[in-house]
């Protein structure tokens, strides 16, 4: 297979972990006689410095014409005070590519039970995926902004969803559940928000087309509690943009480190953006200690969802599992006395096991 992959390393540790994910993909290409062409562009803070905007139109066009996009991380204190923010690049990328669904699988590794604050028995059987709506809700609502009125500073954000946006994300969740354990949990705040009342109504209607799938509804605060007390009860969670953003960061605690979790942002076609869920971590940037696993597993999701190469994706995933089972650790997941590997050394360990 020939494929063009745009890399957007971004800021902080983004370039470090993206480089290791590219090495893993090159390893796959060599083993299976694929040809992956990589083309690097700016996004986020480094794009602001280079072009004045967090996402140049030329970068967006390059992504549109690629088979997949591999992204690192954006942001940092350097750009916190400006009106133009690195995170606007992410929002523009998702909207510009029509990527309405963010997939975040959560499956703790048995060798890392010590890294989670939950008891090992709470982690037994945990294997779920969060399907987060990505292009609607508060992050894209209009109007929004800050202004002065009657001598007071005010700010406004608007939470808006349409039936079309809700139906397509719930439909995707139901299709994914059909290939798993056939349980979908739709998360909302229907006891307070009009948008959530509509969400619950449309979710219920959409799930009727999937007779084998069981749909239940949870308020977001109840879901946040159950992620801690009964995480194994979930199969597929589907929710709106901001709730999904918060709940997936909470779910990262189950596996022990945000550095371990990948994500995929998908739309109607095969093109997707793949990135670890962690941020730019500027405090450790350049030290060679970032965990590359989330980025490498994101590369595996790229192979599976955009390039339709499930065997190759599974090779990376099994190599990660073996490396962790063999005791390979970066600083964020190591116990006292364990040997700590650098970013590159951890990637070496994974690639050797492919």
Give the residue numbers marked as catalytic: 139, 189, 221, 245, 249
The token pair that represents 297 in the structure block: 């597993």
Residue-by-residue DSSP string for 29-56: HHHHT-EEEEEE---THHHHHHHSSSS-
| Distance (Å) of CA 317 to CA 19, 153, 224, 294 | 18, 50, 28, 11
- Phi, psi (degrees; rounded to nearest 5) at 78: -55, -30
Q: Which residue has the tokens 């983004």?
A: 14
Angle at alpha carbon of residue 81, lines to 139 and 287, rounded to 5°: 95
Q: Which residues are within 8 A (CB) of 30 and not within 5 positions of it... i.e. 6 or more apart?
A: none
Of 218, 222, 182, which is closest to residue 203 (Cα–Cα)? 218
Q: Which residue has the tokens 């494929």?
A: 3
| Distance (Å) of CA 124 to CA 94, 120, 146 | 34, 7, 46
Q: Which residues are within 8 A (CB) of 271 and not within 5 positions of it... i.e. 6 or more apart?
A: 63, 64, 66, 67, 68, 69, 97, 306
Rounded Cα gap, residues 196 and 189, in angstroms: 5
């Amino acid at each position: 297979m020939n494929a063009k992959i745009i890399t957007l390393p971004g800021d902080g540790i983004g370039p470090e972990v993206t480089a290791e994910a590219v090495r893993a993909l090159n390893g796959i290409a060599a083993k299976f006689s694929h040809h992956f062409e990589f083309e690097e562009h700016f996004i986020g803070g480094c794009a602001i410095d280079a072009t004045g905007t967090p996402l140049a139109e030329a970068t967006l066009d390059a992504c549109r014409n690629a088979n997949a996009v591999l992204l690192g991380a954006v942001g940092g204190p350097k750009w916190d005070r400006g009106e133009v923010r690195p995170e606007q690049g992410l929002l523009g990328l998702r909207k510009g590519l029509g990527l309405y669904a963010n997939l975040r699988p959560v499956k703790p590794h048995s060798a890392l039970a010590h890294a989670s604050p939950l008891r090992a028995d709470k982690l037994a059987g945990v294997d779920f995926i969060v399907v987060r709506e990505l292009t609607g809700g508060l992050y894209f609502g209009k109007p929004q902004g800050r202004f002065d009125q009657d001598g007071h500073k005010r700010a406004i954000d608007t939470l808006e969803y349409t039936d079309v946006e809700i139906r397509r994300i719930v439909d995707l969740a139901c299709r994914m559940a059909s290939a798993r354990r056939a349980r979908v949990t739709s998360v909302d705040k229907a006891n307070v928000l009009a948008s959530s009342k509509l969400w619950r109504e449309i979710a219920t209607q959409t799930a009727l087309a999937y007779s084998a799938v069981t749909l239940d509804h949870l308020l977001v605060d109840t879901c946040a509690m159950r992620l801690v007390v009964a995480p194994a009860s979930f199969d597929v969670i589907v929710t709106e943009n901001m709730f999904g953003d918060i709940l997936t960061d909470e779910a990262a605690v189950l596996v022990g480190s945000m550095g371990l979790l990948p994500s995929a942002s998908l739309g109607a076609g095969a093109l997707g953006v793949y990135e670890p869920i962690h941020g730019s971590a500027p405090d450790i940037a350049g030290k060679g200690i970032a965990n590359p696993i989330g980025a490498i597993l994101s590369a595996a999701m790229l192979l599976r969802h955009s390039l339709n190469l499930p065997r190759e994706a599974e090779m990376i995933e099994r190599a990660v599992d073996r490396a962790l089972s063999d005791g390979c650790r970066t600083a964020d997941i190591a116990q006292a006395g364990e040997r700590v590997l650098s970013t590159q050394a951890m990637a070496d360990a994974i690639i050797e096991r492919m």
